[in-house]
Amino acid sequence: MLEITNLHAEIESEGREILRGLDLVVKPGEIHAIMGPNGAGKSTLSHVLAGKPGYLVTEGTATLDGVDLLGLDPAARAAAGVFLAFQYPVEIPGVGNVTFLKAALNAQRRARGEGEISTPDFMRLLRGAAGRLEISQDMLKRPVNVGFSGGEKKRNEILQMAILQPKLCILDETDSGLDIDALKVVAEGVNGLRSPDRAFVVITHYQRLLDHIVPDFVHVLAKGRIVKSGGPELALELEAKGYADFAEEAA
Amino acid sequence: MTLVPAALKRRTRAETAIDAAFAAVRADLPGAGRSEAFARFATDGLPHRRIEAYHFTDLHTLVTAAPEPARRPSPEVARATALAAGVDAFAAAGAARFVLVDGWFCPDLSDLAGLGDGVSVSSVGAGLLGGRQLAGRGLDGLGERLADGGAAADPLVALACAFYTDGVVLRVAPGTRMARPLEIRHLASGASVSAHVRHLIVVGDGGAAEVLETHASPDGVEIHAHGLTEATIGAGATLSLVDRQCEGDQAMRFSTLAVAVADDAVLDHTVVTLGARLARTQVFARLGARTQLTSRGATLVRGRAHADATLVVDHVGEDAVSRELYKSAVDDEARSVFQGRIRVDPVAQGTDGRMGAHAVLLSDRAEAMAKPELEIFADDVACAHGATVGALDDALKFYLMSRGIPAAETEKLLIRAFLGEVTDAVASEPVRAVIEADVEAWIDGRERSA
Ligand SMILES: Nc1ncnc2c1ncn2[C@@H]1O[C@H](COP(=O)(O)OP(=O)(O)O)[C@@H](O)[C@H]1O
Ligand SMILES: [Mg+2]
């Protein structure tokens, strides 16, 4: 599904290379966890895949079901099936959550040549997903993320994921800022979306999340590349030993 | 630098044309005070950038011509104009309608029925007929609002007072609420002319009035449309005023509102600026004790348009609340200007004033200037102002796009959201719908995407 080969990317304004030859293959139905020290480039990887401006890919490829992601603008990547649950979701004053969700879903459907969803069907979809994620009517009515707590923002990201039904879900530190109850709600939301033709890349700093979203593979990302891969036991090992073996060299 | 006495300065082409126009029409125009008003204008001519109030809107250079004053249109021209103008957007608001063509009242196109007992509407033109005195002809009180504050000295006010031909006189008796809103619809025949209109609105103590003004003219014609509204809102009364400016792309529009808000009264004011090559909207408001003023503006400009909103809010009574929020979306090489001054008199303890001016620049060559000011002479007040100018936020654009919304649609959502703070606050549902449709049409009219 997702194939990343020898990916190099730098911060455009500084010319500083962050991703330094990263390889990763994710197959449909799989959950991959990416762990690593702060500053390793985990968020950068997610941003480069989603098409955030400000990064320059200097080498390598990233494809989703054979489609070259790097040649597409962020909206086209989303329509192709990429979804990134952000580490720091932004607030969008003046754009209502429901309006936004419906606009996004319909834009993706149009891009894929599908018809727009009817309002009753959309409301049914929304009510179901919001209920499972314990998202109140009030949160739906408010502008996107405005005045939401950290945990509410993260749940709202998962709500968007549930509505948009992407092929590839990338979760960037969705667990940070969540208490244990909220973490369980989010994990259940994610697990509810598991399917044989959907894949997940779960970026996390802590093993805790992986008790609830059990990965098939765990990778360590350090200094801009995958330096070690294994099964769920690798996460436990990292939890016990820390990232000292992979630490960034002092600046 | 030597100072040239103003009167000796060389007249510009536009000033010369204005001088000649006044000489030509003076004898035909009834009503007192015109020569005095014209003298106030003529001394200094069109204001230039060294006049502080016109620093960002230098009429001396921006106004390069002055079309002839409009003559009263024939009934045929008036009818054809109304037909060409098409559907009246405010019809859904159930408003009575006072229609002017090129600055002249057209009774046949108007519908002034059903405003209710205690509400009288007449035309300034009718009041002027047959006499030079204003009093006793339905025009009592005209000019009173101009005695104090910045309005008296303003050159655009002086021009309106010298040349005005017509306008609305609306009087709402004390304790009376208008049964339906009054729409003042300004149309243009398509001739390149100057129109000068003056309105008088008097809301008696405890009364309530709603006035919706629309200015429209065809693209491609240079008209100069001058308007001056003098309003008095009695104690405990309410006035809601909407000024919707949809002039053509070559029009120049100059509008002034001079308003006195008596104790415990409320003024709710909305300005939407969508058209004109050059637009200047001025508000001179004088606020009594415990009054509430809300003045909100949405300015949407493109091409090479220049739109200016200038507010002077004078708190002269205790515990008044004023809220001014002006937002501009500026595209292409257009420019928006906001100048706002809240002045708090020494007696105006407890004043609560807040003024914000925000512009979003949609192109690299768009410009926005904002100058909010506070002049506070009382010590127990809460006043604040803020101004921002910037592009649409890239982080927000990316977030929306990352959910599949294409770039062009993302910009639309963000522009709408930006202006929503102004448009959402319009209380009347049908009026809000008209304004939202205006914003939508403007956004859809953007040629460039992303
Ligand atoms: N937009 C940016 N501007 C400047 N530096 C950035 C930017 N994005 C990331 N970085 C830098 O890139 C490195 C990797 O950051 P990031 O991908 O956020 O790491 P992680 O998510 O693994 O903690 C860090 O040194 C960070 O400071
Ligand atoms: Mg990160």
Q: Rounded to an integer, what distance in angstroms lies between the CA atom of residue B149 and that of residue B187? A: 31
CB pairs under 8 A between A and B: 76
Q: Rounded to an integer, what distance in angstroms lies between the CA atom of residue B446 and that of residue B362? A: 10
Backbone region of residue B448 per phi and psi (left: phi > 0; alpha: psi in -120 to 50; beta: other values): beta
pLDDT, tens digit (0-9, with 9 covering 90-100), for B264-323: 999 999 999 999 999 999 999 999 999 999 999 999 999 999 999 999 999 999 999 999
Spatial neighbors of B295 by CB under 8 A, at least 6 apart, are B267, B269, B270, B271, B283, B285, B311, B313, B322, B323, B324, B325, B326
Cβ A38 under 6 angstroms from ligand 1:
yes
Beta-bridge partners for B389 = B359
pLDDT at residue number B448: 47
Closest ligand to Cα A18: 1
pLDDT at residue number B447: 65
- Option in A75, A83, A160 nearest B401 (CB): A75
**Residue A113 burial by CB count (10 A; 0-12/13-18/19+): exposed, middle or buried?**
exposed
pLDDT, tens digit (0-9, with 9 covering 90-100), for A227-239: 999 999 998 888 8
Give domain limits for chain B. 72-391
State which of A44, A86, A206, A225 you would mutate to test the pocket of ligand 1, scoring each by most atoms of that ligand within 8 A of its C-beta. Answer: A44
Cα angle value A218/A224/A225 (rounded, 5°):
45
Q: Is the pLDDT of residue B162 over 50?
A: yes
Q: Is the pLDDT of residue B450 over 60?
A: no
**What sign for the dihedral angle of Cα A71, A77, A81, A87?**
positive
What SS3 state is found at A208? helix
Residues of B in contact with A113 (CB under 8 A): none
Q: Is the pLDDT of residue B1 over 60?
A: no
Task: Indicate the pLDDT class of residue A182, thresholds 50, 70 and 90.
Answer: confident
Q: Is the pLDDT of residue A177 over 90?
A: no
Cβ A162 under 6 angstroms from ligand 1:
no
Q: Is the pLDDT of residue A251 over 80?
A: no
pLDDT, tens digit (0-9, with 9 covering 90-100), for B351-402: 999 999 999 999 999 999 999 999 999 999 999 999 999 999 999 999 999 9
The mean pLDDT value of chain A amounts to 93
Measure in Å the smallest separation between the Cα of B419 and chain A Cα atoms.
Answer: 8
Closest ligand to Cα A87: 2
Write the ipTM.
0.95
C-alpha A43 – ligand 2 centre gap (Å) = 4
Task: Indicate the pLDDT class of residue B449, thresholds 50, 70 and 90.
Answer: very low
Residues of B in contact with A160 (CB under 8 A): 403
CB A79 within 8 A of CB A108: yes
Residues of A in contact with B394 (CB under 8 A): 53
CB A86 within 8 A of CB A49: no
B419 to chain A: nearest residue by CA? A94
Backbone region of residue B264 per phi and psi (left: phi > 0; alpha: psi in -120 to 50; beta: other values): left
Q: For the residues B138-149, what does the mean pLDDT come to?
A: 84
Check A73 against B401: CB less than 8 A apart. Answer: yes
- Option in B399, B406, B409 nearest A90 (CB): B399
Measure in Å the smallest separation between the Cα of B428 and chain A Cα atoms.
Answer: 19
**Residue B192 burial by CB count (10 A; 0-12/13-18/19+): exposed, middle or buried?**
middle
Q: Could you confirm whether domain A2-249 is CATH 3.40.50.800?
A: no
pLDDT at residue number A210: 92
pLDDT at residue number B446: 85
Task: Indicate the pLDDT class of residue B424, thresholds 50, 70 and 90.
Answer: very high
pLDDT at residue number A250: 37
Strand order in the sheet with A55-64: A16-26, A2-11, A55-64, A67-68
pLDDT, tens digit (0-9, with 9 covering 90-100), for B4-42: 455 556 889 999 999 999 999 999 898 888 999 999 999
B408 to chain A: nearest residue by CA? A75
pLDDT at residue number A245: 76
Question: Which residue of A91, A144, A159 is the best one to mutate when testing the B interface, meaning the one whose CB has the most B CBs within 10 A?
Answer: A144
> Which atom of ligand 1 is least distant from the CA of A54?
1
Closest residue (by CA) to atom 9 of ligand 1? A44
Q: Which residue has the higher pLDDT, B115 or B446?
A: B115
Task: Indicate the pLDDT class of residue A197, thresholds 50, 70 and 90.
Answer: very high
C-alpha A87 – ligand 2 centre gap (Å) = 7
- Option in A51, A75, A84 nearest B406 (CB): A75
Closest residue (by CA) to atom 6 of ligand 1? A11
Q: For the residues B91-116, what does the mean pLDDT come to?
A: 95
**What sign for the dihedral angle of Cα B84, B87, B90, B96?**
positive
What SS3 state is found at A9? strand
Of all residues in chain A, what percent are helix, strand and coil, respectively (each to 5)? 40, 25, 35
> Which atom of ligand 1 is least distant from the CA of A173?
21
Cβ A230 under 6 angstroms from ligand 1:
no
| Residue at token pair 């779960």 | A202
Find the range with the poorest average confidence among A25-39, A109-123, A171-185, B1-15.
Answer: B1-15
The DSSP output letter for A67 is: E
pLDDT, tens digit (0-9, with 9 covering 90-100), for A55-92: 999 999 999 999 999 999 999 999 999 999 999 999 99
Cβ A174 under 6 angstroms from ligand 1:
no
pLDDT at residue number B9: 66
Q: Rounded to an integer, what distance in angstroms lies between the CA atom of residue B1 and that of residue A7? A: 65
Task: Indicate the pLDDT class of residue B217, thresholds 50, 70 and 90.
Answer: very high
Measure in Å the smallest separation between the Cα of B335 and chain A Cα atoms.
Answer: 24
Q: Is the pLDDT of residue B242 over 80?
A: yes
Question: Which residue of B360, B394, B399, B439 is the best one to mutate when testing the A interface, meaning the one whose CB has the most A CBs within 10 A?
Answer: B399
Give domain limits for chain A. 2-249
Q: Is the pLDDT of residue B134 over 80?
A: no
Share of chain B above pLDDT 90, in %: 87
Cβ A40 under 6 angstroms from ligand 1:
yes
Q: How does A228-242 read in b/e, with b if 16+ C-beta sit within 10 Å?
A: beeebebbeebeeee
Task: Indicate the pLDDT class of residue A248, thresholds 50, 70 and 90.
Answer: low
Cβ A18 under 6 angstroms from ligand 1:
yes
Cβ A97 under 6 angstroms from ligand 1:
no
Residues of A in contact with B407 (CB under 8 A): 73, 75
Q: Which of B233, B282, B222, B274 is nearest to B57 (CA)?
A: B282
pLDDT at residue number B150: 79
Check B401 against A108: CB less than 8 A apart. Answer: no
Please give the structure tokens belonging to residue B358: 């925000």
